[in-house]
Amino acid sequence: MLKTDYVNAEMLSKFATRLGNRALLPEITPKAQVALMCRMLFTEGWNDHIAGHITVRQPDGCILTNPWELTWDEVTASDIITLDEKGNILDSDWNITPAIGLHLQLHEARPDVNVVVHNHPKWSGIWANLQEVPPIYDQAGAYCGSELPIYNEYLGTFEDEGTSLTAVESIGDAKWALLAHHGALVLGRDLRQAHLRAATLEWRCRRAYEVRLAGGAQPLAEEVINQVGLPDPNGFPFLWEAMARRELRRDPTVLN
């Protein structure tokens, strides 16, 4: 089962008592976890063809990432690439995106960030192109708080080291960002946290656009957002496992 600390010690103890020895997931290798993350986020709308990449820093400093050539809904564990800290491929014949430098620079600049996710999702992409921060209208959109920076100094794609470094410096200590005329970026301590943030961002953006099309409404007040928001550092109890099981039912070969 994926290692996690859920919400807090008291709730964890209660959940563990109820679950007994029941496993929410089979044992999953680090590479299989990354492949599952690709599938899970594809389902959430992070699905722009072969665009986008996920990097996951390992305890030894190496980085796991998906290959450039494959869509996120076809990646399996054996496709996941291991990189050294400089981005050199250690164990694969697949290629990595030329824009991987942004991820490497983020990992280097942010010791708290072990997972970086970038793609061009539909709904967050709309708000990125509008260069507007989507309001929050419901509880699911409030899970990760309201602050959402927009990096609006679009200088082209991130193959250039100077361009990506400028983005890293502008993003600062944010947990996510909209990239104007480009897409979305989500950072996390682990896969659970990054998944919650990515799913929440796309949900929030979708709901905000639907509400705008419907004629508008009153967004949630900041004090309400603070009340209903989840303790983001610990993620959403059981959500990662539930979404992983859904992908395993669809295609068990993702673990291969």
Domains of the chain by start residue, with CATH = 9-255 (3.40.225.10)
User: Does the pLDDT at position 155 exceed 70?
Assistant: no
Predicted pLDDT at 156 = 54
pLDDT band at 34 (very low <50, low <70, confident <90, very high): very high
pTM of the model: 0.89
Predicted pLDDT at 12 = 47
For 197-252, what is each residue's pLDDT tens digit? 999 999 999 999 999 999 999 999 999 999 988 876 667 889 999 999 999 999 99
CA distances from 56 to 12, 27, 133 (A): 25, 18, 27
Q: What is the mean pLDDT of residues 21-29?
A: 84
Least confident of 16-25, 115-124, 129-138: 16-25
CA distance 162 to 160: 6
Predicted pLDDT at 162 = 59
Residues 6+ apart with CB under 8 A from 22: none
Contact between 148 and 219 (Cβ < 8 Å): no
